[in-house]
Structure 1
Amino acid sequence: MAEAEVNYASVVFKSNKQPPPEAKKAEETVYDEVKKKSESTEQTADTNAGVLPDKKANSRRRHYQLLACCLGILCVILLLGLIAACYFLATLSRDITELNQLNENNTTLLAANRNLTNLNGKLSVDNDNLRRERSNLTVQLGNLTQNYTVLESKITNLTTQNQELREHNENLTTQNQQLKTEKNILTEQIQTVETNCIELNISRAQWSIDAYCPKTNNVRQCNACQEGWLLNSPSCYVIHDAPPPEQITWEQARANCRGNNADLVVAQNQQEKNVLSGYSWPTPGNIGYWIGLRVEGGRWKWIDGSDLNEPSWIAEPTEGQCAVSVHNQGWKSVMCEEDKRWICTQKALTV
């Protein structure tokens, strides 16, 4: 190795954090200056190689130069370390401040999170309640819809019924008017009938007097029965011994008797039955005479509404059957629509 060669020691400091760009740039600048001075020293030594200075003076000078270089590098390194320490402390302080701020923010966020959690739980409960209420309201809405449909149908029916009632009311009003008119007509007819009845009663009274008390040589002589009627106290009888062309049904025979203020003959006991049998004159074919007995409701009934006391006097009742009295044969059951002779009776006049 040449005498002028200088050995340099490098010292490297490491920290947990990289130095800032400014410190790194300053370190590189110092390193370049030291390197230039070393190269300049080597060139000077090479130039003066042929000259033999004093070895001690050169050695002392080299030691001084090396010491000065080391001190410069050490100052630079200390300066860089100080700058790095300041930067690290500033960064650490800022990080601690940020950490404290983050802790405060985290505490605030935790509190806000707890509040939000509580609020979320409350909102979940409210949401469940609202869902249940919605479900209930949906059911109520369905029921109301059904009720509305039913009511709408009823309203439609009532509207139709109302229209029908209006039409019926109009018809009733028309009928009422017609009935009033008919009432007036009937009132007039009733008055006419009453007048006619009065006249008829007078005529009947006169007829009764003439019938029961005929004049003979302008002298009236009253009898218990009308002329032509047979007396068998307490009743009078008339036998309509009509020929076949003039024979009539049971209803017609009764109407004929009523027209003479009488009715078909009734026999409630054996004595009356014997009297009736005596008046049942023999006729060709013995077809018999209508009496006031017919079947009603499955039973034999007299025209006065009483039941036949002796069922053995005639056959079993059959609907549509009436009774006839036949000479020497008793009573027979025949159809009421057949044509027969008939016997009428009325109370005898008592004077």
Structure 2
Amino acid sequence: MAEEVSYASVVFKSQKQAPREGKQEEETVYDEVKGKIKTTEQTADTNDKKANDRYRHYQQLACCLGIFCVILLFGIVAVGVYLATLSHESDITGLNHLKENITTLLADIHNLKNLNNNLTVQLGNLTQNYTILESKITNLTTQNQELKNRTQELEMKRNNLTEQIQNMEMNWNKLNISRAQWSINAYCPKNNNVRRCKPCQKGWEFTEPSCYGINNANGDEQKTWEEAREDCRGKISDLAVVHTEQEKGVINGYSWGRWNAYWIGLRVEDGKWKWIDGTELNQSSWIEAPTEGHCAFSVHSQGWKSAMCNEKKQWICEKEALSV
């Protein structure tokens, strides 16, 4: 029996519902199918065909899902391998950086140790220099104190010397007054309360323009030429100097005694006869030729002679006469 079957259009709708127990299922909703079943056999064939189609569809879907899972697995493995490789490379790079940093730190530590050693040496040197400077400062402080003490002593001595100078000036003034008074008394002695001044003081012989002091020393009182000159200087005079025949005659006249010898202010210097006033003897006939180390002396009625200056003799002093 053949019956005409008319199929209505079938519309499949996918409705999403809330997941149950963590799973999401898709349901296929079939709209109403309207038609006329011709025969039971045809209906069964049609159902088998549909079942086969659904089975193939499920197989294809399962195959696609399997392929997708395999692809997904390979992707996950690839990502894992990539991440592992990336992590390994990162670890290697980080390890290299760490090694470089450790090397740099070790170098810095070595440099710091060297710097610390240098600083320790410098500190030792500075400590030693400080000790030396401290010792020098102590010495300078001691020297400064000694200088202060010395300055105080010198100040006291200066004050004492100033006082002594003042006393000496006072004594000098007194001495000058005394000497002036003595000179007045010596040159202008009083006779019946009347002063009469003379060109030469008492004990000196006057022959214009000088006064002559005749020292008739005997024995041990006689002096060498230098000693005789010092004695004359102590009397504000000097050994007699002669420049003219008149003065020579005066010296010869004062040379009393037949054998008495008197030193005069003439001696040999640089091979020449020179007076004590620095002038040379112009009259070579007055005395014998000069001999180094000799001095001149006058002998009454015998003229001038030469002898070693260290011999002891009498002497004649001369000084300027007072104008009255």
- Summarize the Cα distance change of 1:220–1:204 in structure 2 as closer, same or farther, 3 Å threshold: closer
Q: How does 1:16-55 map to 2 (within 5 A)?
A: none
Residue aligned with 1:316, SS: coil
For 2:255, the equivalent position in structure 1 comes to 281
Matching residue of 2:67 = none
Instruction: Assess if the C-alpha contact under 8 Å between 1:277 and 1:330 holds in 2.
Output: no
- Taking the aligned partners of 1:300 and 1:146, their CA distance within structure 2 comes to 74
Shift of 1:151: 1.5
Q: Which one of the candidate residues 290, 305, 309 is aligned to 1:334?
A: 309
Alpha carbons 1:291, 1:325 under 8 Å: kept: yes
Query: In 2, distance between residues paired with 1:221 and 1:189?
Result: 33
C-alpha contact 2:239 2:318 (8 A) present in aligned 1: yes
Which runs of structure 2 are paired with 1:1-351 in the superposition (5 Å)?
102-123=84-105, 126-127=108-109, 129-130=111-112, 133-134=115-116, 136-137=118-119, 140-141=122-123, 143-172=125-154, 175=157, 179=160, 183-184=162-163, 187-188=166-167, 190-210=169-189, 225=200, 229-248=204-223, 250=225, 253-254=228-229, 256-258=231-233, 260-267=235-242, 269=243, 274-275=248-249, 278=252, 281=255, 288-292=261-265, 306=278, 314-317=290-293, 323-327=295-299, 328=303, 330-335=305-310, 339-350=312-323
The answer to whether the Cα contact below 8 Å between 1:266 and 1:302 also exists between their aligned partners in 2 is yes
Q: In the alignment, is the contact (CA less than 8 A) between 1:265 and 1:291 conserved in 2?
A: yes
Q: How far did 1:344 drift?
A: 0.8
Tell me the secondary structure at the aligned position of residue 308 of structure 2.
strand
Give 2:252's aligned amino acid. G
In structure 2, the residue matched to 1:63 is none
- Number of aligned residue pairs: give it: 245
Instruction: Quote the Cα distance in structure 1 between the aligned partners of 2:109 and 2:193.
Output: 122
Output the amino acid matched with 2:308.
Answer: S
Question: Which residue of the partner structure matches residue 60 of structure 1?
Answer: none
Amino acid at match of 1:201: A
Q: What is aligned with 2:69?
A: none
Structure 1 vs Structure 2 CA RMSD: 4.9
Question: Could you tell me how far 1:341 is from its partner in structure 2?
Answer: 0.9
Asked whether the 8 Å contact 1:313–1:330 carries over to 2, the reply is no
How far the C-alpha of 1:345 sits from its partner, in A, is 0.7
Give the percent of matched residue pairs that are identical in Structure 1 and Structure 2: 36
- Which amino acid letter does the alignment assign opposite residue 110 of structure 1? I
| Rounded Cα–Cα distance in structure 2 between residues aligned with 1:218 and 1:171 | 55
Which stretch shifts more, 123-132 or 197-206?
A: 123-132
How far apart are the structure 1 equivalents of 2:178 and 2:117?
89
Residue type matched to 2:297 in 1?
S
User: 1:94: how far off?
Assistant: 10
Structure 2 residue ranges without an equivalent (≥5):
1-73
TM-score by length of 2: 0.53
The alpha carbon displacement at 1:201 in A equals 0.7
CA gap 1:127/1:302 in 2 versus in 1, 3 angstroms: farther
**Shift of residue 343, structure 1, vs aligned partner:** 0.3
Q: 1:271 to 1:94 in 2, by over 3 A?
A: farther
Query: Is the contact made by 1:277 and 1:325 (CA closer than 8 Å) also made in structure 2?
Result: no
Amino acid at match of 2:320: K
Summarize the Cα distance change of 1:135–1:303 in structure 2 as closer, same or farther, 3 Å threshold: farther
TM-score normalised by L of structure 1: 0.50
Q: 1:303 to 1:144 in 2, by over 3 A?
A: farther
Partner of 2:40: none
Is contact 2:200-2:211 (8 Å) kept?
yes
Deviation at 1:185, TM superposition (A): 6.2
Map Cα deviations across residues 213-268 of structure 1 (whole Å, 9 max, x no partner).
Answer: x97x999887655566555543332322222254345565445434554322234x
| CA offsets 1:102-140 (integer angstroms, 9 cap, x no match) | 434312211212322442354355346545644653564
For residue 11 of structure 2, what is the aligned residue in structure 1?
Answer: none
Structure 2 counterpart of 1:244, one-letter code: G
Distance in 2 between residues matched to 1:95 and 1:332, nearest whole Å: 145
Distance in 2, matches of 1:261 and 1:176, equals 32
